[in-house]
Amino acid sequence: MESPKKAMPRSFEDVVLPHLDAAFNYARWLTKNDADAQDVVQDASVRALRFFSSLRDENARAWLFTIVRNTWYGRFPRRTGTAVVNVPDEEAEHRPDVGLDPEAQMIQQQTVEHVRQALDTLPADFREVLVLRELEGLSYKEIAAIVEIPIGTVMSRLARARERLSGVLVPAN
């Protein structure tokens, strides 16, 4: 989609709309279904329009993620099952066997669907940091700003998310 070349005033079309896929992808991972994700992104876009003048030079994509996230939590207050509260902070969780190579194990059953299901079984707090880091390539600092947690927590949450994921992707047998 080519955009008309108007350099000076940053418009909603030029700055925000190119990130609509990213916003939807993030919302889709948060909500785990298309209808809710569409509702969230639509509401978030209306808010983004309203607050557009407050967007300075920051990363428009990260800015939009923040709005999407706030919209989601506004619409769907933390439900049991998605809250990080249910997750023990110091993992008493099992660490996958050091000898296992998860990728090698995945070779037979490795499908996108499998990864999707594995991610969907994680609590939303874990899933979102993984999505922001691995699919969007955001830095810890950017993730910290969106999720409103300290950078140290981003690091530990990602570590626990990856550990849990390896447990789900490669079930101990």
Partner 1 sequence: MECREVDDLLGAYLDGELEPAVSTSVRDHVEGCTTCRQRLANLESIGRMVRRAPYYQAPAELRAKVMHARARSAPRHWLGWAAAAVVVASLTGSIVFVRSSTRPHAPDPVDAVAEEVVSAHVRSLMGAHLFDVRSTDQHTVKPWFLGKLDFSPPVADLVQAGFPLTGGRLDYLAGHPVAALVYTRGQHTINVFVWPEASDALRLSDARAIRGFHVRHWVRGGMSYWAVSDVNDADLDEFVHALQQ
The CB-based long-range contact list for 43-47 (8 Å cut-off, 24+ gap) reads 43/71, 43/75, 44/68, 44/70, 44/71, 45/16, 45/20, 47/71
CA distance 69 to 35: 16
Which residues 46-65 are close enough to bind partner 1 by CB under 8 A?
46, 49-50
Query: Is 158 an interacting residue with respect to partner 1 (CB under 8 A)?
Result: yes
Member of 77, 88, 99, 171 binding partner 1 (CB under 8 A): 99
Query: Is 6 an interacting residue with respect to partner 1 (CB under 8 A)?
Result: no
Member of 24, 65, 72, 126 binding partner 1 (CB under 8 A): 24
Beta carbons within 8 Å of 62's beta carbon, 6+ residues apart: 138, 142, 145, 146
State the amino acid at position 7 in one-letter form.
A
Query: Is 25 an interacting residue with respect to partner 1 (CB under 8 A)?
Result: yes
Q: Provide the token pair at 118.
A: 């594995």
Binding site for partner 1 (CB under 8 A): 1-4, 12-13, 17, 20-21, 23-25, 28-29, 34, 37-38, 41-42, 45-46, 49-50, 96, 98-103, 106, 110, 112, 115-116, 119, 130-131, 133-135, 139-140, 155-156, 158-159, 162, 165-166, 169
